[in-house]
C-alpha cells in the first residue's frame, strides 16, 4: 500500500505596525502550492519517513530550521487505490524561510472553532461532530466543499492544527514559532492566536518565563518603555510524561 507523507507547515509572519501604540501584527500562514495542496511525497523505502518529508520541505523553503513531528495516519474507504496519508505537523518562523519554490507560497491561515477555515482569501465552513462507538466518543469533521481533494487537505490541516493546540499547553512548541529574539508579549500574542483565547498577561508570563533567557538586546523603537528581548532556553530534563 502506498504511503503519502504530508506536511502541514504553519509559519509565523510578523509585520511592523504603523501605529506606535499597537503591537506588531502577527499572522500564521500555511505552506501550500498554487492549487492549495500541501507538501507531499510518496514513501520510497530508501530512507526514513520523517527524513524524507523533512528533506522535501527543506528544498521548498531553503532551510532546515523548522519543528517537525508526526501527528496522525489518515486513510479512507479507497486506501488501496489512494494510499494512506501520514500527516506531519511543521512549525517555524518566517525568518527561517530563505526562499520559496516557485510552485509554493505562504497563505494566511486561520481556524475559527467549529465554524470556518481560512486559507488566503478563501473561507470554508466546517463542523466537528461526535458519535458514540463502542461506548467511546469519536469525533469527525464535516467539511462543506464539493472538491474531494480540497476536503482532504482541509481535514489534514484541521487535524494538525488541533494537535498543535493540544500541545501548546504542555510543551515548548510555541517557541518553535519564535524568531531568534523575541519578547514575552510576542509569545503571549501567538498563544492567544493559536488557542483563540485571551489570557491574563501576568499569569501567562509566569508560565513561560522558565523557557526565556534575557539577552543584552533592549528595543525602544516606539518611544515607550524599552522592551526586553529574550531567546529560547531549552530545559534539560523538562520531561512532560
Residue 26 and residue 123 in one domain: yes
pLDDT in tens, 10-55: 999 987 655 545 567 899 999 999 999 999 999 988 889 999 999 9
pLDDT in tens, 75-127: 875 655 678 999 999 999 999 999 999 999 999 999 988 899 999 999 999 99
Residue 110 and residue 152 in one domain: yes
Residue 161 and residue 186 in one domain: no
Write down the pTM of the prediction.
0.91
155 vs 159: CA distance, rounded Å: 6
Rg (the chain; Cα; Å): 19
Residue 124 and residue 222 in one domain: no
Residue 118, strand partner residues: 110, 123
Residue 216 near residue 231, CB atoms below 8 Å? no
pLDDT in tens, 139-152: 889 999 999 899 99
Query: Is residue 75 situated within a structural domain?
Result: yes
Residue 68 and residue 135 in one domain: yes
Q: How does strand 136-143 pair with strand 122-133?
A: antiparallel
- The domain that holds 15 is classified in CATH as 3.90.79.10
Query: Is residue 173 situated within a structural domain?
Result: no
Q: Identify the H or E element spanning 208.
A: helix 201-208
Residue 104 and residue 30 in one domain: yes
Structurally, the chain folds into a number of domains equal to: 2
Residue 151 and residue 84 in one domain: yes
Q: Identify the H or E element spanning 68.
A: strand 67-74
Biggest CA–CA distance in the chain, Å, is 62
HEC readout, 113-177: CCCEEEECCEEEEEEEEEEEECCEEEEEEEECCCCHHHHHHHHHHHHHHHHHHHHCCCCCHHHHH
Residue 139 and residue 211 in one domain: no
pLDDT in tens, 169-183: 989 999 999 999 999
Angle (CA) 46-49-50 rounded to 5° is 130
Residue 158 and residue 69 in one domain: yes
Residue 96 and residue 215 in one domain: no
Query: Is residue 174 situated within a structural domain?
Result: no
Query: Is residue 239 situated within a structural domain?
Result: no
- The domain that holds 200 is classified in CATH as 1.10.10.10
Give the range of the structural domain holding residue 13, as residue numbers without chain letter: 3-167
Residue 49 and residue 91 in one domain: yes
Residue 68 near residue 88, CB atoms below 8 Å? yes
Amino acid at each position: 500500500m502506498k504511503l503519502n507523507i504530508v506536511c502541514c507547515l504553519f509559519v509565523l509572519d510578523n509585520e511592523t505596525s504603523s501605529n506606535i501604540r499597537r503591537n506588531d501584527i502577527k499572522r500564521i500562514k500555511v505552506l501550500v502550492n498554487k492549487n492549495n495542496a500541501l507538501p507531499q511525497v510518496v514513501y520510497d523505502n530508501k530512507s526514513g519517513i520523517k527524513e524524507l518529508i523533512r528533506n522535501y520541505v527543506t528544498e521548498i523553503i531553503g532551510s532546515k530550521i523548522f519543528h517537525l513531528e508526526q501527528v496522525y495516519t489518515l486513510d479512507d474507504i479507497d486506501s488501496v487505490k489512494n494510499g494512506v496519508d501520514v500527516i506531519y505537523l511543521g512549525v517555524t518562523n518566517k525568518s527561517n524561510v530563505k526562499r520559496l519554490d516557485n510552485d509554493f507560497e505562504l497563505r494566511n491561515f486561520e481556524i475559527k472553532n467549529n465554524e470556518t477555515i481560512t486559507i488566503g482569501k478563501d473561507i470554508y465552513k466546517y463542523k466537528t461532530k461526535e458519535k458514540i462507538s463502542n461506548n467511546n466518543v469519536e469525533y469527525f469533521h464535516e467539511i462543506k466543499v464539493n472538491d474531494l481533494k480540497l476536503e482532504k487537505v482541509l481535514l489534514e490541516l484541521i487535524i494538525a492544527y488541533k494537535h498543535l493546540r493540544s500541545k501548546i499547553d504542555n510543551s515548548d512548541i510555541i517557541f518553535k514559532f519564535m524568531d531568534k529574539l523575541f519578547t514575552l508579549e510576542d509569545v503571549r500574542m501567538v498563544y492567544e492566536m493559536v488557542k483563540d483565547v485571551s489570557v491574563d498577561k501576568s499569569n501567562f508570563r509566569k508560565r513561560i518565563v522558565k523557557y526565556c533567557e534575557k539577552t543584552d538586546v533592549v528595543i525602544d523603537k516606539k518611544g515607550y518603555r524599552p522592551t526586553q528581548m529574550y531567546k529560547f532556553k531549552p530545559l534539560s530534563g523538562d520531561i512532560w510524561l
